[in-house]
Structure 1
Amino acid sequence: MTEFWLILAALLIGIPGALFIVMQINAAHRRQVMAYEWNSAEVIRRGQRLDQLEKLTKDAQKKIAELTKENFELRAQVAKLERLATDAIQAPAPDDKTFNVAVFNQEVRRAHMMGQKHRNLDDKWAEINYEEVSAANEDAVRKKMLRKYPPERGFVIESVTLKR
């Protein structure tokens, strides 16, 4: 059937015209073959890249898991050290006296008066909170309390009184 069309084309438009049509058909076929080869190579390249990304993702997830575990362990150690430090600070010496200390937070109080909440502290800090502290004298009590409730964070020591 194709030969019939070639003969008919040659008769109607001449041999140069038929040759031109054959060359155009051949070029179109070559372009299709090249496009297919390029597409298959691109599919292979993208598949390899996906494999690389999956491996990198697994490695990253493993590293995240390790860091999360390490973070958890470090937080546990910090909590333990904080408990030990608190116990050491609060452990009364034989000659220590017990003092009542009144503390509040100025930032919480100001936020409470403006009808807002403090971003970190509970509303109870707007009021005076009392704590018992053992120390040799009032200065030692103030030093302990300033470490525990720093003025830079808005804490105010209202009073220190000897417990009777």
Structure 2
Amino acid sequence: MKKYLFLSIITFGFLFSCGSSDDSKKEEVQTSQGEWVPQQIQLIKIVPVYTVAYPHTAGCTKDFLQLSTDNTAKFFHYEGRSCEETEYENAFQRSGNNVSLNIMSYQISGTITTETETNMVIESDISEYVPLIKAMFPEYEQYLSVLEGGTVKLSLNKK
């Protein structure tokens, strides 16, 4: 069950598209373009509380985020025995290092804290995910108060 909780946090935590019109931000977009594979999820409450490898479905293509030159993004998720592909479009908007998600009518905000040509880290306050977790995983509601004030940190590597 923990795997599904973390998978949901991550799946909803990085569906995004880049947007920019000035030259300094174009360099940022050029760094971000391409396919990004989620590698690690870390829950932090003062110190890292839990670190786990992103739960890609065994035997399937690894999930990835595709950032395009036209400022759009798609997230590709693979699951099940047949490795069924689910494609999510335009679920995330970017303004500088700030990101805003609209997932199932839930607004989630985060910040890109690291961005190089090969690595990107997106951090969000765990409170951003509370309404979504309550809706999708009501059995975890009793544990959410323990994580209050914590951070979700997602690391992605460029393919």
Common topology (TM > 0.5): no
- TM normalised by structure 2 equals 0.23
| Highest RCO, 1 vs 2 (Cα 8 Å, sep ≥ 6) | 2
Is the radius of gyration larger for structure 1 or structure 2?
Answer: 1
- TM normalised by structure 1 equals 0.22
Whose strand proportion is higher, 1 or 2?
A: 2
